[in-house]
Amino acid sequence: MKKTFSLLTLCLGLCCVSCYDDTALVQRIEALETTQIASINEQIGAIRSSIADLEATDRELDAVIKVLEGQDAALQADVEELKAADAALDDRIAELKAYAEAELASTKDWTSATFATLDQYEATCAEVAAVKVLIDDLATSLKQSIADAVAASEAGLKDWVNEQLTGYWTIAETQAKLDGLRGDAEKEFAAIEADLRTAADELTAAYKSAIAEAIATSDGKLSTKIDEVNAALEKDIADIEARLTAVEEKLAVLTREFAITFNDTEIGVVAGGVTSVGYTIIGATDKTTVKAFGQNGWSARVVPDGTDKGTITVTAPDPITDEEIIVLVYDGEYRTIMSTVSFAKGYATPSRAAVELGAEADTVSIELTSNLSCHVSIPEDAQSWLSVVEPDATRAVRTETIHFACTECIGGIRKATVTFADDAGVAISTMVFVQQGSAVEVTLTEAGTLESKIDASLYRDIKGLVINGPINGTDIPVIRKMINLEILDMSNATIVAGGDAYVENYYTEDDVIGDYMFARVGLIEVILPSTVARIGEYAFLECKSLESINIPSSVKEIGVSAFWDAYALKYFTLPEGLEVIGDVSLGSSEVLESLVIPSTVKYIGANAFTFASIGEIHLKALPETLTEIHENIFGYCQTNVYDEAILYIPKGTLDAYSGTDFGRFKNIVEE
């Protein structure tokens, strides 16, 4: 019976309903333990002793009366007198019985009264019936509560997730598992309900047996029986109170708001792309955990930022498929909630496919409509004249107003293809900027004729010059006379041998930027001919304003001190195909932050790089290709580059480079 009481108590807790109020029962037991039971026991003992004696006397009188009734009429008077005495005795017995019942009725102890008289047995049965009604009510509430709990928190899902879902179940499999859990819960309820019915029957039988035994053995054993029942009740009440406390604690958790929300409602991603979605958990504790699962090629990783927020980084398959990411949140105690995040095929659509600009500086606003996080990528060779102002952005499916600023174009026509890419750098869409220049454009059919194409009176006013066709030593001095020239575009020009000396005894060679050719010229930007094979010694010596130079992939060698004292130089790329970097060839840049040394380089001269602010160097060449490295190649850097900069080298080449100047770096990363 005690085991059944425990089952009843547990079910009452799981149903999350109000339990039976035992206050009156506790009060009765306390009164019983103090004075009433002892007093009642004494009174009942005395009363029953008197009643027993009187009943024995009554039986004897009845027997005498029956004998006397058959005697002579002379004894009739005596018979009548005895009958009167018998009636008086009956009255006395009834009076004593009434007194006992009145004494029992006056006590408030239900248990004492139950075991003291058969009349109270009926009251006990009524109490049991009330318990049955309560059980019926609780059973109904239990069924509804279990159904609600399964629907709300998918009870038991945590265990299934930890053991099964790591294999990336589908949504259909997940639903089937949940349906199975519901069925198991309903079966468990049926078993619990049967146990409750059994508990009620056992309770009734126990009361009947205890009452019958107590009345049948009223010779002093009633008090012992009451003590036994009282001890059992105290144990059950203590168990009920403990379980009620546990239920209240669980109710506090179950009734607390617990949910997850996401920062974006519609999230775009491209094939093979990576995107992130932020999440916030309502009702989180330090025990709360979040897990995310992808299916069919999708992957997801949770990056918490504290207990109640974080991001989920998602990688899409290529080709992209329609799928959801399953997100599970466990409160660490009782509840697991499941949510899903849907993704759409990413797009980023600029309001204009191309923008044409005049030569003057300008700002252009472009509307970009997208459903994913986009980043604007401007080609490195265009960053000197085209830039992005901070965009105005919204979340989810959003329209961003992106402001592009371009500088004045004093050179020729320039173009830039801007790319809109996702977080992983995957290109989504592009648009083209074309800016007309104010430069003077000259087309030569014969080398050495540049002077005849431009009025000398205009030399001082020319800031930009575009040359098409062949040029030789006779043409170079004409360029040098343009003292305000800032931009020189020779992309469609060809340097050929011949003509006069351009500086003292230096003459042009085919496809060579000769020694001292543009030394000390105030150029800001230079675009070299696409056929140039070598940049000579001191070619751009002390070009202090030079910021950008386009070095074509045709260049194999950069001569000694080619860019010495060009300390403003920051926009250039050493091309693949370059083999020789001469001594002090790229010296004195104060603004260059990173440098890539191509994989084709075979020779690096002494003090080749003397950059003031260099932070990282990417060496692509392998030791078997780069066979000659002079000492102190970063020797004249204003900062201690060997201690402060990061050197990236090909994987597995650390030992090979350890004995070279590259081995002096303290921060080396193999990539």
- Tens of pLDDT along 480-496? 999 999 899 999 999 99
> Which among 404, 431, 458 is the end of a domain?
431
> What angle is formed at CA 73 by the lines to CA 68 and CA 77, rounded to 5 degrees?
75
CB atoms within 10 A of CB 492: 15
Q: pLDDT category, 110, cuts 50, 70, 90?
A: very low
C-alpha closest to that of 524 among 408, 359, 405: 408
**386-392 and 398-406: which strand pairing?**
antiparallel
Domain count of the fold of the chain? 4
Residue 167 maps to a domain:
yes
Residue 206 shares a structural domain with residue 323: no
* For range 4-19, the mean pLDDT: 36
Computed over every residue of the chain, the mean pLDDT equals 74
Of 574 and 437, the structure prediction assigns the larger pLDDT to 574
Residue 545 has pLDDT above 50, yes or no: yes
355-366 residue pLDDT tens: 888 888 889 888
609 Cβ partners below 8 Å, 6+ apart? 586, 587, 595, 617, 633, 634, 637
Residue 208 shares a structural domain with residue 117: yes
Residue 426 shares a structural domain with residue 303: no
What's the whole-model pTM score?
0.49
Amino acid at 308: D
* For range 82-94, the mean pLDDT: 58
Residue 340 shares a structural domain with residue 364: no
Residue 264 shares a structural domain with residue 235: no
* For range 3-11, the mean pLDDT: 36
The region of weakest confidence among 32-46, 447-461, 544-558, 644-658 is 32-46
Residue 330 shares a structural domain with residue 356: no
504/81 Cα distance (integer angstroms): 172
Residue 49 has pLDDT above 80, yes or no: no
Task: Determine the structural domain holding residue 286 and report its residue range.
Answer: 259-345
CB atoms within 10 A of CB 599: 15
Residue 274 shares a structural domain with residue 248: no
Amino acid at 359: A
Residues above pLDDT 70, as percent of the chain? 60
Q: pLDDT category, 78, cuts 50, 70, 90?
A: low
Give the pLDDT score at 14.
34
Residue 285 shares a structural domain with residue 157: no
Radius of gyration of the chain (CA): 51
C-alpha closest to that of 258 among 342, 181, 149: 149
452 Cβ partners below 8 Å, 6+ apart? none
Give the pLDDT score at 588.
66
> Which among 233, 254, 275 is the end of a domain?
254
Are the beta carbons of 550 and 528 closer than 8 angstroms?
Answer: yes
Residue 589 shares a structural domain with residue 657: yes
Half-sphere CA count of 326, side-chain side, radius 13 A: 21
Give the pLDDT score at 11.
35
3-state class (DSSP) for residue 616: strand
Phi and psi at residue 461, in whole multiples of 5°?
A: -90, -15
In a 10 Å sphere around its CB, with 0-12 CB exposed, 13-18 middle and 19+ buried, how is residue 84 labelled?
A: exposed
32/225 Cα distance (integer angstroms): 13
Tokens of 298: 């999708």
Q: Which residue's entry shows tokens 């001269």?
A: 605
Strands (E), 286-381: 289-293, 299-304, 309-315, 324-330, 336-345, 348-350, 354-357, 362-370, 375-377
Residue 535 maps to a domain:
no
47/37 Cα distance (integer angstroms): 15
